[in-house]
């Protein structure tokens, strides 16, 4: 089961990010945004595109999986705020995997280089069947971060069950 989906984003750190996400309770997609950026609307479109690999990984197809329109819950001030919400799921996956704080900090630095401007949002979990499993027990989460410098989205999806 994969945890990192680089999509159309040529990530020089992909192998290390894959290693850092392996065994965690977090799935991450990255997409290079090639269209006109339209704020929240672009974030929602990126989420719909970015969740497809996670859906295929879990269900092997998207045919019978309902994928709707994401609803934004709140704007967040920075990637650090997003990662503070992701952190619980990173360190406490369904199946025990020892992850250190140093590994989490390294993941943060790889995904979000300093000195850039980011736009960040938290999203509801009612727009895709992918989240249903996590509603039973583990919990769910959905976040998007747009890097205005690289024009790349980093998307986080959390929904696991035993």
At 23, is the pLDDT very low, low, confident or very high (cuts 50, 70, 90)?
confident
Instruction: State the pLDDT confidence band at 162, using cuts at 50, 70 and 90.
Output: low
Query: Which structural domain, as residue segments, surrounds residue 135?
Result: 4-159
Crossing angle of helices 101-111 and 14-21, in 10° steps, is 140
Enumerate the β-bridge partners of residue 143: 122, 156
Task: Give 108's contacts (C-beta < 8 A, 6+ positions apart).
Answer: 79, 80, 83
Question: What's the structural domain count of the chain?
Answer: 1
Beta bridge partners of 122: 74, 143
CATH code of the domain containing 123? 3.40.1000
Alpha helices in the chain (DSSP H): 14-21, 40-59, 79-91, 101-111, 132-136
Reported as a single tens digit per residue, the pLDDT across 123-153 is 999 999 999 988 988 889 999 999 999 999 9
Confidence (pTM)? 0.94
């Amino acid at each position: 089961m994969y945890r990192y989906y680089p999509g159309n984003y040529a990530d020089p750190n992909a192998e290390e990010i894959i290693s850092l996400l392996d065994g965690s309770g977090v799935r991450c997609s990255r997409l290079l945004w090639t269209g006109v950026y339209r704020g929240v609307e672009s974030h929602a479109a990126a989420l719909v595109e970015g969740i497809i690999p996670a859906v295929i990984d879990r269900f092997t197809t998207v045919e019978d999986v309902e994928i709707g329109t994401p609803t934004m819950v709140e704007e967040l001030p920075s990637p650090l705020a997003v990662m503070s919400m992701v952190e619980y799921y990173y360190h406490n996956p369904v199946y025990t995997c020892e992850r250190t704080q140093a590994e989490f900090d390294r993941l943060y630095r790889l995904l979000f280089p300093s000195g850039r401007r980011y736009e960040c949002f938290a999203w509801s979990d009612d727009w895709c069947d992918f989240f249903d499993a996590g509603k039973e027990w583990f919990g769910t989460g959905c976040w998007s971060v747009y890097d205005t410098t690289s024009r790349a989205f980093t998307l986080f999806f959390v929904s696991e069950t035993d």
